[in-house]
Structure 1
Amino acid sequence: MSRLLSLVTLSAITVAAVVQHPLTDGYNSQILINTKPLVSSEALEGHITSKNLLKRAKKLFEIAELGAADYNHPTRVIGSAGHVGTLDYIYSTLAELDDYYTISNQSFKAVVGNVFESRLVLGDKEPESTSPMSLTPPTKHKQAVFGPLVLVANQGCDSSDYPSNTKGGIAFIERGVCSFGTKSAVAGKAGAIAAVIYNNEEGHLSGTLGEPSDIHVATFGLTKQDAEPYIKDLEGGKVINSSAYINSIVSKAPTTNIIAQTKGGDQDNCVMLGGHSDSVAEGPGINDDGTGSLTLLEIATHLVNYEVNNCVRFAWWAGEEEGLLGSDYYVSQLSEHENLKIRLFMDYDMLASPNFAYQVYNATNAANPVGSEELRDLYTTYYEAHGQNYTFIPFDGRSDYDAFIKHGIPGGGIATGAEGVKTMEEAAMFGGTPGQWYDPCYHQICDTVDNLNFEAWELNTKLVAHSIATYAVSFKGFPKRTGAKVATRDEPSLYHGPKLVM
C-alpha cells in the first residue's frame, strides 16, 4: 500500500510536489506540476509602464521609416514597407510567447492609393478649390498634360454626352446622377486626357473613383463657385487651353489581419479586442493607431503569465484608414456559430493624444447590442475609481467596432481624441489647451513618438488590461448572446472610407 501523497499548492507559477515512493522509505521522487495564477486586474496592470510603451513606440517609428522610400516620409499605410514591417513586428513578437496563443493571418485584398502631387491650371489660373479625387490614376507618364477644357453635356454619364473634341481635351463634367468613377471612365473612353468634376451645389467637392479601372483618367474635383466662370465662357464659345498634372499610385494590394487567441480558457466564450495596424499615407501614425496596436501587443506579452477562464482574442486590423476594411472583412467571414462565441468586442484607437481627454464611447443598450452599456460602465467606473474625469463621445461607427455591433456583438471602447477641438470645460477637466485639436498631428507627418502623452497612454493601457482581466475571469452579470442578427440602417455609413465609399 502506498504512503501519503503530499501536495502543497502555492499561488506561484511553478509548484513542486514531493511524493514518497511506494517502494522505498525515502522521498526521492518529485512531480513538477506547472500552473499559473488566474489573471487579475491588479496583477496584469502591474506589468504596464511608460518606459516599455516608449520603447515600443520608438521601434514602431523605426518601422514607419521603411515607408519613406516610396512615400518620401515615414508611413505605415497598407501596401507600404512600413505596414509590412508593422505586421512582421506584431507577428514575430506573438510567435515568441511560448505557444500561449493560436496565431492566424487573415489576408484580403484592398484598394490602396496615394496622390503625391497635383496641379490643375484652367486658362491662366489655378482654381483654389481644386482637389484630386481619391484613387485617381496619374496623368500620362506622371507628367503634365495639355489640352482644351471641354464642356460635357448633362452629367457625363453616357458616351453621347461627350462632344467629338473631348479626345485630347480635359473633360469638364457636372456632378450628379452617376458615380465619380463612372464619369471618369466614360471620359477616358471618349479620349479625354483628364477630367474635372464640378459641384452643382455649394461646398467643397471631394470623393473617390472607387474600384480602379483601366479607362479611368486623372480626375479633379472643383467647387460650383470656381466652376461657374468657366462654364459661362465655354458656353459662349471661348477656348480655354488648360493643363493637368497628377502623380499618384492606385492598385489592389494584399494585406493582412493578425488574430491571436489564448489556447486556454473557454473557447466558446471569448473576450475580443482590437486596434488597427495601419496608418494613413500622410504620416507614421504613432498615436493613430500605434498606441492602440502597441497597447494590445504589450498586454499580450504579459497575459502569458496567467491562466484565463474565458478565452481572450486579440486582433490587429489592416485597412482601417481606408474604410474599416480589415474589421469589416473579418466579421463578414464569421458563421453564426463563430459570431456567437464573441461575447463582446472592445475597440482601442488613439490612446495617447497630446491634448487628450479621457473619452468613453456612449454605447447604450437601447441603440446597440445588449451588453454594450455594461462595457461602457466598466470604463467609467474605472476612471472614477482612479479619480479621473471622463466624457462620453458618439458611438457612431467611426472605428473598427462598427462591423461588430452591426452583427449583434456588444461593443465599446475608449479614446483620447482626434481632430475635435477641446472645449474650455474639457480643459478644466483634463488640462491641456482649449481651442486646439485633441491631437494636432492627427493624420499628419508629425504623428511621431513626440506626439504622445505618456500619462494618458499608461493609464489607458492599464484600463485595457483591466477590461481584459475582468472578462477573462468571468462574464457573471454580463448579458448572454442570444443571436447574431444583422442590423439594418437606412442612413449610409459615414466612416466606411473617404477612399472607398462615396
Structure 2
Amino acid sequence: MRSRLRKGVLGALTAVAVAVSPLALTGTASAAPGGPAHEHGKDHHPGKGPGKDHGKDAVRKLVKAVSGKNVKKHLKALQAIADANGGNRVAGSPGFDASRDYVAKKLRAAGYDVTIQPFEFTFDGYITPPVLQQTAPAQKTYTFGFFSDYVAMGDAPAGSAAGTVQAVDLTLPPGPDNTSTSGCEPSDFAGFVPGNVALMQRGVCNFRVKVDNAMAAGASAAIVFNEGQPGRTDVDLNPTLGGPGVTIPAFFTSFAVGQELAATPGAAISMNWDPIVEQRTTYNVIAQSKKGDPNNVVMLGSHLDSVQEGPGINDNGSGSAGILEVALKFAKTKPKNQMRFAFWGAEEFGLLGSDHYVATLSEEERAKIALYLNFDMIASTNYTFGIYDGDGDAFGTAGPAGSDVIEEDFEKFFAANRQPFTATAFTGRSDYGPFIAVGIPSGGLFTGAEVRKTEEEAAIFGGTAGIPLDPCYHSACDTIANISDKALDVNSDAIATLAATYAFDTGTIGTAERAPAAAKAAAGHGHTHKPADAAS
C-alpha cells in the first residue's frame, strides 16, 4: 500500500445474526456459513442464478476450501522469492518478476486465460540503502526504514557527507503544541559553522524551507527529526522536498535519534544516499475464467509488488495470496458471471498498474465490469477488520452507486461470524482508486498500516493500543512472521464468500448511468477482455 496517511474512525460494530442481503444468489437459500443470506428478488437480473450444481452446498464447500492455511502456503512462496532476490519484490526487479511468474503459472495450470500486461514506469528508489552513522564521540549505526531510525527525504540528491552535528533552534523538551520553528528562518542559523550538519526539528514550516535555509548557511547535510509530541515521535512518514534544487543529503529521523544527537556533546555523523531514478518495465497479471457471462464481470484485485525496503508479505502478499487461493478453488466451478482476478504491479509507486489497466479499457469494456473488490493488507498483526466505506456514512465519501451494497454484504459476513468490524475510508489510497474514478462499484477489506490502534479498537479487536496496526509497515520486518493467522483466515473466508455470491448474481450492484453502456456492450461486443497492449 502506498505510503500516505489516513484518518480512521470506528464504525458500527455488531455480533448479531446475519440479516437478508439485498443481493440474491438466485435459487440458493443461503450462501456459505457466515456469508450473506440471499433470496431471489424482483430487483435482480433474470438468468443470473446458479446452475443445477451450484446450490448452497456447492458454495459452502467452495468457501470451506479456502483456508488461511492454504493461503499461507502462497505467502511462504513469496517470502522465498524475496529471500532469493535481495530481500524484496519491488516492481521492476527480479523479485517482482518471479512473483509474477509464480502467480501466472498457478493460474494457467488451473485453467484460466492469463494475460501478462506490461507497462513502463519511473522507478524511484535506491541502488544501496542509505547509511546514517554516529562517528563521534562513539560509533553507532542507525537503522534505515519506516518505523525505524531514519529515511531519506524524497528529492534529496545522491551524495555523502560527514561532519559535526550542530543544533538549529531546537525546542527540547517539545511543547504540548506544534510549536517548533527550528530552521524556519534564516536567522535561526546565526553562528552556524559552514560544513557542519544541520540538526533541525519538525514543526510549523515545511521540510523544504528548513533544508533550503540549511543550504544557504553552508550545511554539508540536513537532518530533520520528528517533533516529539505524542503522535510525532516515530519515522511514520516519508517527507519529500517538493522537487529538484536541493544539493545536500537530507534525512528524516525519529525524535529519539534527534534528541540523542542534540544531547551528545561533540556528536559527529556520516551519511550516504545513493538513489536511482530510471525507466523500467513491470507488469499486471490478469486471469479470467473461461465460463461465465463476459458482459457481466466480477473482478477481484490486489497489488503484487512490495516496497524496496522489504519482502512485503503483509503489504501486499496477503491480499495477493488471498485472491490467488480463491481463484484456484474457483477454477472448477461454472460461474454465471465471468470472474477476473488481477495482480497489480507498481502500486507502491502510485497505483500505476491498476491505473494503466483501467486507462486501457474502452468505455464498453469498463461497462462490462459489474464490480471491483480490492484486498490490500488483510493480515496485519495488530489488525482491525476494516471494510471500505461504500456508503460514505463514516467518512463522508461514498463509492459509486452499488458500493454501499458491497459494504453491507461484507458487514453481514463479519456479523454472522461474530467478528467486529469497522469502516475504512475510500481515500483512493489503494488500487480501487482508478475503478471508483470511472464509476465502477467497489469495495474490499483492509486490516491497517501505519495508523496506531486506539484504546477503543484494542478493547474491541484485541491487540495493543498505541502502536501501528502493522508495526512492520514498509519495513524489512514485513516477513512471513508479520502475519496474523486469524486475520488471514477470516478475511480469506470473507473474500471467498463474496466472490461466490457475486459469481452467480451481481443483482443491485451497478448504476442506472452505466446500464445503457453495458447493454450496448452486450449487444455488439461479446468478446473476452484483453487489453489492446497486452502480451500473453
Counterpart for residue 34 of structure 2: none
SS at match of 2:314: coil
Structure of greater Rg: 1
Matched, 1:326 2:353: yes
Counterpart for residue 395 of structure 1: 425
SS at match of 1:302: helix
Distance 1:44 1:199 in 2: 49
Matched, 1:57 2:71: no
Distance 1:365 1:450 in 2: 34
Distance 1:468 1:210 in 2: 43
Distance 1:81 1:281 in 2: 12
Task: Give, as a single letter, the amino acid of the residue that structure 2 aligns with 1:285.
Answer: G
Q: Does the 8 Å contact 1:101/1:263 carry over to 2?
A: no
May I ask how many residue pairs the two structures share in their alignment? 428
1:260–1:211: structure 2 CA closer, same or farther, 3 Å change rule? farther
Distance 2:453 2:199 in 1: 41
Choose the corresponding residue for 2:442, options 397, 411, 430: 411
Choose the corresponding residue for 2:503, options 472, 482, 485: 472
SS at match of 1:356: coil
Counterpart for residue 352 of structure 1: 379
Q: Does the 8 Å contact 1:145/1:193 carry over to 2?
A: yes
Task: Give, as a single letter, the amino acid of the residue that structure 2 aligns with 1:439.
Answer: D
Counterpart for residue 108 of structure 2: 95
Distance 1:148 1:452 in 2: 39
Counterpart for residue 281 of structure 1: 308
Name structure 1 gaps, 5 residues minimum: 1-34, 69-73, 157-166, 228-239, 485-502
Matched, 1:303 2:330: yes
Deviation (angstroms), 1:261: 2.0
SS at match of 1:296: helix
Residues 6-53 of structure 1, C-alpha deviation per residue, up to 9 Å, x if partnerless? Answer: xxxxxxxxxxxxxxxxxxxxxxxxxxxxx9945853232132123322
SS at match of 1:363: coil
Distance 1:391 1:249 in 2: 41
Matched, 1:370 2:401: yes
Distance 1:423 1:462 in 2: 26
Task: Give, as a single letter, the amino acid of the residue that structure 1 aligns with 2:81.
Answer: I
Residues 48-104 of structure 1, C-alpha deviation per residue, up to 9 Å, x if partnerless? Answer: 123322322211111111233xxxxx2222344322221221122222223555554
Deviation (angstroms), 1:241: 13
Matched, 1:457 2:497: no
Distance 1:92 1:211 in 2: 41
Deviation (angstroms), 1:358: 2.1
Q: Does the 8 Å contact 2:68/2:490 carry over to 1?
A: no
Deviation (angstroms), 1:348: 0.7
Counterpart for residue 272 of structure 2: 246
Q: Does the 8 Å contact 1:118/1:132 carry over to 2?
A: no
Task: Give, as a single letter, the amino acid of the residue that structure 2 aligns with 1:85.
Answer: A
Residues 177-196 of structure 1, C-alpha deviation per residue, up to 9 Å, x if partnerless? Answer: xx9899999x99xx997677
SS at match of 1:315: strand
Distance 1:64 1:170 in 2: 36
| TM-score, structure 1 normalization | 0.67
Task: Give, as a single letter, the amino acid of the residue that structure 1 aligns with 2:363.
Answer: E
SS at match of 2:65: coil
Counterpart for residue 44 of structure 1: 62
Distance 1:50 1:483 in 2: 36
Counterpart for residue 38 of structure 2: none
Residues 380-402 of structure 1, C-alpha deviation per residue, up to 9 Å, x if partnerless? Answer: 111122x3232223314232212
1:36–1:57: structure 2 CA closer, same or farther, 3 Å change rule? farther
Counterpart for residue 95 of structure 2: 82
- Percent of counterpart pairs with the same letter? 34
Choose 210-219 or 265-274, whichever is displaced more.
210-219
Distance 1:300 1:196 in 2: 47
| TM-score, structure 2 normalization | 0.63
Distance 1:181 1:424 in 2: 35
Deviation (angstroms), 1:419: 3.3
Task: Give, as a single letter, the amino acid of the residue that structure 2 aligns with 1:375.
Answer: I
1:211–1:317: structure 2 CA closer, same or farther, 3 Å change rule? farther
Structure number with the bigger relative contact order (C-alpha 8 A, sep ≥ 6) is 2
Q: Does the 8 Å contact 2:377/2:446 carry over to 1?
A: yes
Q: Does the 8 Å contact 1:365/1:371 carry over to 2?
A: no
SS at match of 1:307: coil
Choose the corresponding residue for 1:444, options 475, 481, 497: 475
Distance 2:354 2:210 in 1: 30
Residues 293-314 of structure 1, C-alpha deviation per residue, up to 9 Å, x if partnerless? Answer: 0011111112110112222221
Counterpart for residue 117 of structure 1: 131
SS at match of 1:281: coil
Q: Does the 8 Å contact 2:123/2:276 carry over to 1?
A: no
RMSD of aligned C-alpha atoms? 5.0
SS at match of 1:289: helix
Deviation (angstroms), 1:425: 4.3
Residues 238-264 of structure 1, C-alpha deviation per residue, up to 9 Å, x if partnerless? Answer: xx9997632323222422222222233
Distance 2:420 2:327 in 1: 26
Q: Does the 8 Å contact 1:138/1:246 carry over to 2?
A: no
Task: Give, as a single letter, the amino acid of the residue that structure 1 aligns with 2:286.
Answer: I
1:104–1:79: structure 2 CA closer, same or farther, 3 Å change rule? closer
SS at match of 1:300: helix
Residues 446-476 of structure 1, C-alpha deviation per residue, up to 9 Å, x if partnerless? Answer: 3222222223212211211111121121122
Distance 2:267 2:115 in 1: 62
Deviation (angstroms), 1:376: 0.1
